[in-house]
Amino acid sequence: MERKALRILALVGAVSLVLAAGAVAQPIGAIDSPTEGQTVSGVVRVSGFVLDMNAVQSVEVLVDGAAVNSAQLYLPRIDVLLMFPTYAGSPTAQPGFITSFLAGNYANGPHNVAIRVTESASQAQTIVASVDVVVDNTVNQAPFGYVDIPSPVGLTGANGSFPVFGWALDDVSVNHVDILIDGQEVAGSVGSGSPSTALYGYPRADVAAAFPDVPGSLNSGFQANIDTTALVNGIHILSVWAWDDQGLGRDIGDRTIQVINNAANLAPFGDIDFPLDKASLLCTNFTSGSDGYPSPCTPELCGAPLFVPNFIEGWALDVGARLDQGQVAYVELLLDGQIVSNSRTDCVQQGATLMDCYGINRPDIAQLYPGYVNADNAGFNFTIFLAHNTNDLSNEIAIYLPTTNPANPVPVGFTTPGKHTIAIRAGDDTSTVTQFGAMSVDILCDQSATGSADQPSFGFIDKPVNMEQISGNAYQVFGWAYDLQGVQTVQVDVDGQVVGNATYGLYRPDVPPMDSRVRSANVGFSFILDTTQLSNTQHDIVVYVIDHGGHRTEIGRRKAVVNNNVSTH
């Protein structure tokens, strides 16, 4: 810190002279890390600041005069602006940068590390700072990283389950990540993608941007979910250790956790996976015959009504089971706050398929919540049918639930076309109830004015997941879409503006077994999004489908955070 302050002070006089003389100011800057004469090995972090009255296009790190990597720019540096207040309104009002290079790519001995600035308008290039370092590849560098969640301020009032997120890197390979509480391991990953009680290998585009040539930087994220019922109430210390393939480890973050568990706050929790927020629920227009089914079809002629099913799927868990306080006893589907279906009373089986049930196998949840009671069977699914009788002038839409006989769904209530809210309510054996997953849906009956069946399109956005950090000029938005009459176009919209049409018809053999309404495996879509054209903030990504009748349906939306210039600590 002392050397950094001296470097900043050394620049102050020179900058003052340039500005006082009214000359065209060239960029100035400093390298904070590494320091002059430092011995380096493994991943060498290069960070500092650049100030310029002109817009900066890039900052590159040069080793022995050859460009290696471009740095992340526009990182806040309040300490620098306090010393150089004239630049507070300049294009470099956030003057910090960070990048790195691999010491293993260079021979042992002295090397020069420099920073070159390229200005946007003039394309003028200036070397603004350099330091001499000594590479020693005989030194094994320990892994490094950061714990994002919980934050450095810690976590108060933790109860039930809480997540741990972060990232870890090594110049060769991260062997595993251990999560400890009070010095005892409570979760750990055994390498990327291996069976474990924590997961290592999540995408971290922000880390890859800061450490572009480090092996595995793009998939350096880790995640674990900690069950606090195994801890006594009170203050605990959480530590995360990352280990390399040579057995060298490093503590990459400590956090203070306050645990407060009692029966009242050990409520169920979970989420709705399908559909996505703002998606459509399909409704069928029909003219009833004497049997109540769409005419002229009867159960005897068709074997089943022509109603198109709507699926609501997700998962629910309850850590109260660990303390003998019960577990998830039932899950309810709510439409506008009213109970439509209850897994305890409405669960049925048609062939090998369970409908309106809780207890569906979810190996992905078991992987995310290892050791949690019933985590491997935490899934729920609900199937509802919506139908409007054209003989009924009231515009009411009947809600049907499946029975063991596919030809005989049972009516359970009514709703209307338009915007509605669905949610899930889960209760445990001790009558603790939680509502979660609330989202807006649009109930649409046939869209065709001619009377021919034309259902809304439906589908799913696989990437990005909600609140994912995205970056770069080639981020792939992908998923699947289907329409009973055929898909004409898949549009990708960002913040209310269509940015392009996705490639449609990609092979997705996983979709038809997952959704019985889909009759083709060529339903995938993909769109390359240039996030560098977006501001570094939260954005709405919406996918619309236009069918062959020209009708446009929103199949869902995701919130994503563009993060092209973010400090990785």
Q: Are residues 21 and 150 located together in one domain of the fold?
A: no
Burial 127-138 (b: 16+ CB within 10 A, else e): ebbebebebebe
Q: What integer is the mean pLDDT of 537-560? A: 90
Q: Tell me the pTM.
A: 0.71
Lowest-pLDDT range, 141-150, 276-285, 300-309? 300-309
- Can you give the pLDDT at residue 408? 84
Inter-residue contact 94 to 72 (CB < 8 Å): no
Split at pLDDT 50, 70, 90, the class of 303 is very low
Split at pLDDT 50, 70, 90, the class of 291 is very low
Q: Rg of the Cα trace of the chain?
A: 29
Q: What integer is the mean pLDDT of 404-422? A: 90
CA 77 from chain center: how many Å? 28
The whole-angstrom separation of Cα 10 and Cα 20 is 17
Is residue 297 over pLDDT 80?
A: no
Tell me the residue type at 258.
Q
Q: Are residues 291 and 419 located together in one domain of the fold?
A: yes
- Cα dihedral angle (516, 522, 524, 529), rounded to 10 degrees? -160
Q: Are residues 284 and 312 located together in one domain of the fold?
A: yes
Q: Are residues 391 and 344 located together in one domain of the fold?
A: yes
Q: Is 177 exposed, middle or buried (0-12, 13-18, 19+ CB in 10 A)?
A: buried
- Can you give the pLDDT at residue 235? 95
Q: What integer is the mean pLDDT of 427-437? A: 86
Question: Pairing mode, if any, of strands 468-470 and 552-562?
Answer: parallel
- Can you give the pLDDT at residue 406? 84
The secondary element (H helix, E strand) that includes residue 545 is strand 538-547
The whole-angstrom separation of Cα 118 and Cα 70 is 11
Average pLDDT over the chain, rounded to whole? 85
Which one of 94, 111, 135 terminates a domain?
Answer: 135
- Can you give the pLDDT at residue 115? 95
Inter-residue contact 458 to 445 (CB < 8 Å): no
3-state secondary structure of 37: coil
Reported in sequence order, the residue ranges of 353-472 that DSSP labels E, i.e. its strands, are 353-355, 357-360, 379-389, 397-401, 410-415, 418-428, 433-444, 458-463, 468-470
3-state secondary structure of 7: helix
Whether a cis peptide bond, with omega within 30° of 0, leads into 95 is no
Q: Are residues 329 and 448 located together in one domain of the fold?
A: yes
DSSP bridge pairs for 376: none
Q: Are residues 401 and 445 located together in one domain of the fold?
A: yes
Q: Are residues 325 and 231 located together in one domain of the fold?
A: no
Contacts of residue 13, defined as CB under 8 A and 6 or more positions apart, other chains included, come to none
Q: What percent of the chain has pLDDT over 70?
A: 86
Inter-residue contact 52 to 545 (CB < 8 Å): no
Split at pLDDT 50, 70, 90, the class of 16 is very low
Q: Are residues 19 and 117 located together in one domain of the fold?
A: yes
3-state secondary structure of 206: helix
DSSP bridge pairs for 338: 335
Q: Give tens-digit pLDDT for 221-230.
A: 999 999 888 8
Q: What integer is the mean pLDDT of 329-351? A: 95
Q: Give tens-digit pLDDT for 353-399.
A: 899 999 999 998 988 888 788 889 999 999 999 988 777 667 789 89
Tell me the residue type at 18.
V
Most confident of 277-281, 343-347, 413-417, 556-560: 343-347
Which one of 105, 135, 165 terminates a domain?
Answer: 135
CATH number assigned to the domain comprising residue 130: 2.60.40.10
- Can you give the pLDDT at residue 471? 81
Listing DSSP states for 406-426 in one string gives: TT--EEEEEE-SEEEEEEEEE
Lowest-pLDDT range, 34-43, 262-271, 506-515, 534-543? 262-271
DSSP state of 308: P
Residue 106's domain spans which residues?
A: 2-135
Tell me the residue type at 202.
Y
The closest of 135, 131, 100, 109 to 35, measured between CA atoms, is: 131
Split at pLDDT 50, 70, 90, the class of 290 is very low
Q: Are residues 245 and 347 located together in one domain of the fold?
A: no
Q: Are residues 432 and 485 located together in one domain of the fold?
A: no
Q: Which strand ranges, in their side-by-side order, compose the sheet holding 125-135?
A: 39-40, 125-135, 109-119, 56-63, 66-70
DSSP bridge pairs for 310: 384
Split at pLDDT 50, 70, 90, the class of 527 is very high
- Can you give the pLDDT at residue 17? 39
- Can you give the pLDDT at residue 561? 80
Split at pLDDT 50, 70, 90, the class of 445 is confident
The whole-angstrom separation of Cα 129 and Cα 432 is 62
- Can you give the pLDDT at residue 3? 56
Block residue for tokens 């269509």: 498
Q: What integer is the mean pLDDT of 450-466? A: 80
The closest of 568, 532, 562 to 46, measured between CA atoms, is: 568
- Can you give the pLDDT at residue 196? 65
Question: Pairing mode, if any, of strands 249-259 and 155-158?
Answer: parallel
Question: Number of structural domains, the chain?
Answer: 4
Block residue for tokens 């420099």: 114
Q: Are residues 441 and 354 located together in one domain of the fold?
A: yes
The whole-angstrom separation of Cα 297 and Cα 325 is 51
Is residue 195 over pLDDT 80?
A: no
Split at pLDDT 50, 70, 90, the class of 18 is very low
- Can you give the pLDDT at residue 393? 66
Which one of 113, 135, 157 terminates a domain?
Answer: 135
Tell me the residue type at 216.
G
Q: Give tens-digit pLDDT for 40-95.
A: 999 999 999 999 999 998 899 999 999 998 888 888 999 999 999 999 989 999 99
Q: How far apart are the first and last CA of the chain?
A: 16
DSSP state of 198: S
Name the residue with higher pLDDT: 10 or 426. 426
CB count in 10 Å sphere of residue 391: 9
The closest of 166, 167, 186 to 227, measured between CA atoms, is: 186
Q: What integer is the mean pLDDT of 429-437? A: 86
Is residue 329 over pLDDT 50?
A: yes
Is residue 23 over pLDDT 50?
A: no
- Can you give the pLDDT at residue 218? 83
Q: Are residues 385 and 421 located together in one domain of the fold?
A: yes
DSSP bridge pairs for 453: none
The whole-angstrom separation of Cα 102 and Cα 68 is 9
Inter-residue contact 242 to 175 (CB < 8 Å): no
